[in-house]
Amino acid sequence: MTRIFGLAGSLRRASFNAGLLRAAAELAPAGVEVEVHSIAGVPIYDGDLEAETGLPEAVVRLQEGLAAADALLLVTPEYNNGIPGAFKNTIDWMSRPPAGRTLFRGKPVAIIGASPGNFGTTLAQTHWLPVIRTLGMEPWFEGRLMVSRAGELFDHGGTLTDEATRARLAEFLAGFARFLGRPRD
């Protein structure tokens, strides 16, 4: 079984991106499990807090989940044409020692996202690239999924109800799974 650690970058209860991640878990191809994780409970990074008490429990749980996974799926909102601060903050915490950066190094990663705007999460997905490069991950660029006008595609509870988008998501996941099945150096 291939395990993909899915992390949605929004704290809203009816988040489009949390809903997109839940849909990914439902639509994963045979032999692939997409695990649903959240950034909830991760405090703002504070080096003094880290020095005094170590890593917060929420961060340790995320690190453990990522360590056990074969790949990472970032499900990103886009705020003010970039990465949401809370999402980036979570990755910053996760990259802290002792495990930190070694969890990310060489880890295959894909990015998807949903937005109520017309351009999906194009800029946020691009904004993640320097972070991915710095952490030494292996990005998958053969597929792209940016869900635009999400308010028309999700119900009030944040569930993806649009069948065309669900089909696009399933196709994206199948492509990512094929990438994960390839031999690596």
Burial grade of 58 (CB within 10 A; 0-12, 13-18, 19 or more): middle
Q: What per-residue string of b and e applies to 126-138 under the rule 16 or more CB within 10 Å gives b?
A: ebbeebbeebebb
Average pLDDT over residues 11-30: 96
Q: What is the mean pLDDT of residues 156-169?
A: 97
3-class secondary structure, 160:
strand
Rounded mean pLDDT of the chain? Answer: 96
Q: Quick one: pLDDT at residue 99? A: 85
CA dist 149 and 164 (Å) reads 13
Instruction: Compute the average pLDDT of residues 9-31.
Output: 96
